[in-house]
Amino acid sequence: MKKNKSKLQKSALYFAAGSVIAAIASVIYLILKIDTLGWENPISASLLASTFFFLFVAFVLIVIGMADLPSFKVTKRSD
């Protein structure tokens, strides 16, 4: 039985996709600028660090978005 995901879990998956896109953009920018900047430039190190950050944020958000969380809604009991 497949449970419906909450709005927060769905939004976590959307933000994960955005984070992957940001990581890809960082890598592309690094590839385009590495010839002029060189590997020793702090900008190159920053782009590598941001790629690492965005990929692991995406990983965490995907895990959150795909988790099978129970419902925490409080229901009234009729006694």
The mean pLDDT of the chain is 88
Lookup: tokens for 18: 């955005």
Residue 75: pLDDT over 90: no
The predicted pLDDT at position 28 comes to: 95
SS3 category, 48: helix
**Cα distance between residue 23 and residue 77, in whole Å:** 48
Who wins on pLDDT, 30 or 79?
Answer: 30
Mean pLDDT of 48-76: 89
pTM of the predicted protein model: 0.78
Task: Assign 3-class secondary structure to 4-41.
Answer: CCCHHHHHHHHHHHHHHHHHHHHHHHHHHHHHHHCCCC
Query: Which bin fits 38, alpha (ψ -120 to 50), beta or left (φ > 0)?
Result: left
The predicted pLDDT at position 30 comes to: 92
Residue 5: pLDDT over 80: no
